[in-house]
Amino acid sequence: MPELDAEDEKLVTLARSARARTQAAEGAALRDTDGRTYSASTVDQPSFKLTALQAAVAAAVSSGAEGIEAAVVVSSEGLLKESSVQAVRDLAEQAPIYLVDPSGKVLN
């Protein structure tokens, strides 16, 4: 289990807050290469569905982000969805993606 630096711990806090605020299945947060942060929760609408990380990436891209430094997903499922990973990989091949349980414990 990796030790997170202070900036990545902030992402955990943002992701946990996004999940709790909407009582969603997942919460996610990311930091772009300019240091800006974005958070989101699962979107589950009749016309479209997004994982929390896809929603956070969409927010970042729509705000002009050109890269991602790190991302966090908070989920009780215990695994990252491939679609979430791919959303980050579209912008950053090597950015770490941390999976965290709802209590804040880093799982990977």
Can you read off the two tokens belonging to residue 9? 């711990």
Q: Is 54 left (phi over 0), alpha (psi -120 to 50) or beta?
A: alpha
Contact predicate 93/83, CB 8 Å: no
pLDDT single digits (tens) 81-95: 999 999 999 999 999
Residue 40 structure tokens: 């989101």
**Where does the pLDDT of residue 108 fall: very low under 50, low under 70, confident under 90, or very high at 90 and above?**
confident
Q: Which CATH code for domain 6-100?
A: 3.40.140.10
Say yes or no to pLDDT of 40 above 70.
yes
Residue 1 above 70 pLDDT? no
Model confidence band, residue 3 (pLDDT cutoffs 50, 70, 90): confident
Its pTM stands at: 0.94
